[in-house]
Amino acid sequence: MAKANKPTDVEITQLPRAALPEARLDLKSGVEIIAQFHKTLPNRPGVYRMIGEIGNVLYVGKAKSLKKRVATYARGIGHTNQITRMLGMVRGMEFTITHTEAEALLLEANLIRRLKPRYNVLMRDDKSFPFIAIGLDHPSPYLVKHRGPRQKGIDYFGPFANGFSLAKSLNILQKAFLLRSCSNAEFEGRSRPCMQYQIKRCSAPCCGLIAPEEYRELVDQARLFMRGRSNKLQDDLAKEMQVASNALDYERAATLRDRIRALAGIRDGQGLNPQGFSQADAFAIACDGGVSCIEVFFFRAGQNWGNRAYYPRHEKGLSESEILASFIGQFYQTNAPPDLILLSHEIDETGLLEEALGTLAGSKISLQVPKKGEKRDIILSILNNAKQTLARKLSESGAIAKLLDEVALRFELEERPNRIEVYDNSHIQGTNAVGAMIVAGPDGFIKNQYRKWTIKDAKGGDDSHMMREVLTRRFSRLNDIDTSDDDLSPDLIIIDGGQIQLSVALEVARELGVVENIKIIAMSKGVDRNAGREEFHEVGKKPYRMPANDPVLYYLQRLRDESHRFVIGAHRAKRSAAAVKNPLSMIEGIGPLRKKALMGRFGSAKAVSTASIRDLAATPHVSEEIAKRIYDYFQDNQ
């Protein structure tokens, strides 16, 4: 488990910012500002941050000597075009002094993940990985998937690259070890075996169909297997099967045979299965046309536990080594590093990165670029996988780019849109109303940018009023965004609706001053609400349709359908939550104590809703005034 990654006793120094000129800085001004800071810097390790015009962080870097590193920027020559452009945007700098360069590296990676500076390599997708958990905090331990913080008394095995890899392994483990997957509450309430027992996925400890000591043996076997002792376990099961067969206990022999087959199935379907090492993470990077793909494979217990592809954002011109080194530092801010990390490319300062990751893990970490043998074969296979994944990505991006060029032409945009936002809302007669935004761009749907809003005032189901609220809340934030960042400012906004919704959107945009740089259109279902007969609404134009077989229409339909899917899912989740919520919680003055007293006296919220004021007032802790309030609430909402 990773230790805290904050440097201990770090001395923090924030120097005063230089006076901000009225005009945008050029290279000369930026270099002069950096030179002013350089004069007062110590010759110590630390992290520096370059600050832009509106206080945004342009770049985060670390240095063994802050004074020497900043001196290279203060000269203002010998830099790439990207760095030169960045230096011209600098309006200030901030510094954090650390005890060691390894601490500086960890802090640098942490700040990059949090601040997402424009000129750094950004990991972008930092979702947590799932684990398999064996709950030892119960007399009959359970086997389940887990994502989130860890708890005492539970064994965790992972990470798995994705839910699919975990579900596949979990399915086989249930067949092989027959451990329960139900919750403790379900376990305690069982009087007869569930379907899992019938399909031979559980040994039914809930009903006493297996002795406690035998069940515990299954648990121990599962833990051994997840720690890489699979060969010994399969040999032991094979011996048990032979003994059962010799004793003519064919039913037990068949059960043991099925378990052996299940264990073999885990390795058979994994492709890459190392023999020379038990656990490692492997990284391979492929670059083409300024786009990078990093494939990450997880090997644990001598098994391949899946892989995930990342597409880090970075400036063009960076080498594979630079991108990979920055990515790894950010990757292990939220993931515990294994003892062995395999790389496809040599990186600078390998020893420093090993020291920093060792601090996180609390053990020695080795970064290797294999030159021969099994490890080399595995890395070459992963590198080939990265190249193929990147080729598919570029192919898909090329097709989307052509569509976006056509979208720009169709809607008279100055250039290809990098960010398209689609808005929709969902409700039932104004109840549980939700508004949502989905985002798409050259790389497809940008799901980590999706947003949903609980609509505060639905006006009984008035769609235009709800759209006004959603757009007001969204557009009000656009004024706070650095519009030079194309990732956050939309080029095209599509409203699900007709002329009325378009008028509302334009009115809100004018009020908040965002209409000048953003094209807004509306897309309605059209006649008979049939797909293919959608109507498009723009300012100064009559509603029009696109040809039924138009690729641009298909693309816009996909965007619209995705917005429907997302907003309807949000609405259903809100409706389901409301359905199970105790209505007593909605009444002012009814806290946990009175709620418990009412439920104890009447048995259910439904019974409370039909009770008289006199009966309600007879409940402990409920006065006549509160009783009348409860009675009126249910009368008003019947």
- Could you state, in chain order, the average pLDDT of each consecutive group of 10 residues for the chain (638 residues)? 40 41 64 92 94 90 94 87 89 94 94 92 83 92 90 90 85 87 86 87 91 92 81 76 84 79 63 79 92 93 88 89 94 92 95 94 94 94 94 85 92 91 83 88 88 81 83 78 56 92 90 79 75 84 89 92 90 71 77 84 82 90 90 78
**Residue 472: burial class (beta carbons within 10 Å; 0-12, 13-18, 19+):** middle
Q: Measured in whole angstroms, how far is the alpha carbon of residue 1 from the centre of its chain?
A: 20
Q: Which class in CATH covers the domain with range 280-391?
A: alpha beta
420 neighbors 562 (Cβ within 8 angstroms): no
Residue 145's pLDDT is: 92
Q: Which amino acid is present at 569?
A: G
According to DSSP, residue 7 is labeled P
Residue intervals in the chain for CATH 1.10.150.20: 583-636
Q: Which fold has domain 420-578?
A: Nucleotidyltransferase; domain 5 (3.30.420)
Lateral strand order in the sheet of 131-135: 142-146, 131-135, 154-157
Q: Which class in CATH covers the domain with range 583-636?
A: mainly alpha
H-helix or E-strand containing 343?
strand 340-343
626 neighbors 590 (Cβ within 8 angstroms): yes
Q: Closest by alpha carbon to 301, among 157, 128, 448?
A: 157
CB proximity list for 433: less than 8 A, separation 6 or greater: 425, 426, 427, 454, 455, 458, 461, 466, 571
119 neighbors 336 (Cβ within 8 angstroms): no
Beta bridge partners of residue 291, listed in sequence order: 288
| Domain 11-115 superfamily per CATH | GIY-YIG endonuclease (3.40.1440.10)
Q: What are phi and psi of 432, to 5 degrees?
A: 50, 40
Residue intervals in the chain for CATH 3.30.420.340: 280-391, 420-578
d(Cα 476, Cα 481) in Å, to the nearest integer? 10
Residue 583's pLDDT is: 76
Q: What are phi and psi of 602, to 5 degrees?
A: -105, -20
d(Cα 50, Cα 512) in Å, to the nearest integer? 30
379 neighbors 284 (Cβ within 8 angstroms): yes
